[in-house]
Amino acid sequence: MTAVFIVLFGFMLLGVPVAFAIMSSGMAYLVSTGTSFLVVAQRLIYGLNSFTLLAVPLFILVGNLMDYGGISKRLTDWAKSLLGWLPGGLGIVTVFSCAIFAALTGSGPATVAAIGSIMLPSMKKAGYSEDSSAGLVAAAGALGPIIPPSIPMIIYGVTMNLSIPAMFVAGITPGLVIAIALSLVNIIFAYRNPEVLKHAHDMKFDFKHSLKMFWKALGALGLPVLILGGIYGGVFTPTESAAVGIVYALIVGFALKELKVKDLPRILISSLKTSTMVNFIIAAASLFSWVISKSQVGVAISNGFISLVGGSQSMYLFVLVVILLVVGCLMDNVAATLILAPILIPVGVSLGCNQLHIGMLFCICLVVGFVTPPFGYNLFTAVSISGLNFKRIVKGTIPFLLTEIVLLFVFAYVPGIITWLPSLMGYNF
């Protein structure tokens, strides 16, 4: 079994795409045990044989339709008219634009690209440094997979047989808490930078203008209401809601004259590329999960983990957060969920942890990994839209990333932040 992990991490360090690294490690086990290679095809098909997983490519398409349809500009204009006059107003606008756009796409990098490309020039003009503005966008982009709908939550729910609607509800409060915390850090930054404060004082709140911007953004704001309302109203499943979202995004895009027929091939190809990558990782991880189960190494790791935490729930939560932060910045979150969740989560359940609480904590920790160097996806997206080098992006992200890490431990030891809203809505865990 040692050869399996050598192949897995060796290939990843060499820059081999994670799906191929995972599949190669699984095949190394088959070779070492003399098992038929027919298992590869069987496990790849089995890994994708889920109706719920159909929601993944559908939500990716929804996000791309809304992005290409110019929705992000309408959202930021409305947020700017509402919050731009506050101290550090444009930073707050950036955070809450990311939060709203997150409810449309469920993707961290997509949120960074869409909102960052609009807000970065405005923030620079308002006195923000290039480092800080890009760092804030990268950190706020982590809200994408936390505020529902969320692709990582769908993957986790399918893997661990946990209610996806319950996870969607559970993501709302932590997402808003992170958004408020990032805004507060931004305000502190603003008070330490006179140029930023001066720009805020030059802006005035105009109720009529804000109402006009709200009306323009109303079509976009209706999407999360439609999706989440339909799910919790029992009208359709999460997968069906994604299909409904596609129809709605097309209608809104064409009605606003922001989406053109000529854009559709490019949108479909982009969605196909992303969906194929995610599904390939899911299929490859299914083979690796089979190897872990067959070799009983998962049991050995679980036992070692229990010994490490000494049977203490508090120590388990601490170690879980630390491990997932490291894994989140090194490995794709889909692969990390499929490989680690079946190993680490049962340990927490056996120690008395709430299943929904640790499931959400698992997802949020991996998502914060998007902002964690050296391989955080959001960081590389911020590099591409800002033109800054990677080192400067990381420097600008640090105060916001530290805030998110502190909140992870708050979520770990105050489970009610995650579980109170699902309990209020009747989900019993």
pLDDT for 17-76, tens place per residue?
767 887 888 888 888 777 787 888 887 887 777 776 777 788 778 877 877 766 777 777
Question: What mean pLDDT do residues 228-240 have?
Answer: 78
Do residues 369 and 325 lie in contact, with contact meaning Cβ atoms separated by under 8 Å?
A: yes
Quick check: 298 pLDDT over 70? no
Quick check: 309 pLDDT over 90? no
Count of alpha carbons within 13 angstroms of residue 128, beta-carbon side: 29
Quick check: 244 pLDDT over 80? yes
Quick check: 179 pLDDT over 70? yes
> Mean pLDDT for the chain?
81
Count of alpha carbons within 13 angstroms of residue 68, beta-carbon side: 23
| Percentage of the residues of the chain whose pLDDT score is greater than 70 | 89
Question: What mean pLDDT do residues 189-195 have?
Answer: 78
pTM: 0.79
pLDDT score of 300: 67
What is the band of 414 on the pLDDT scale with cuts at 50, 70, 90?
very high
Which residue has better confidence, 68 or 416?
A: 416
Question: What mean pLDDT do residues 372-394 have?
Answer: 77
What is the band of 428 on the pLDDT scale with cuts at 50, 70, 90?
confident
What is the band of 243 on the pLDDT scale with cuts at 50, 70, 90?
confident
What is the signed CA dihedral for 105, 110, 112, 115, rounded to 10 degrees?
Answer: -60
CA–CA distances in Å: residue 35 to residues 28, 31, 156, 194, 284: 10, 7, 29, 67, 17
Quick check: 147 pLDDT over 80? yes
Quick check: 207 pLDDT over 70? yes
Do residues 220 and 251 lie in contact, with contact meaning Cβ atoms separated by under 8 Å?
A: no
- Rounded Cα–Cα distance for residues 301 and 293 (Å): 11
Rounded to the nearest 10 degrees, what angle do helices 355-368 and 151-160 cross at? 140
Residue with tokens 């290409």: 68
Q: Which two tokens stand for residue 175?
A: 């997402």
pLDDT score of 297: 64
User: Left (φ > 0), alpha (ψ -120 to 50) or beta: where does 372 sit?
Assistant: beta
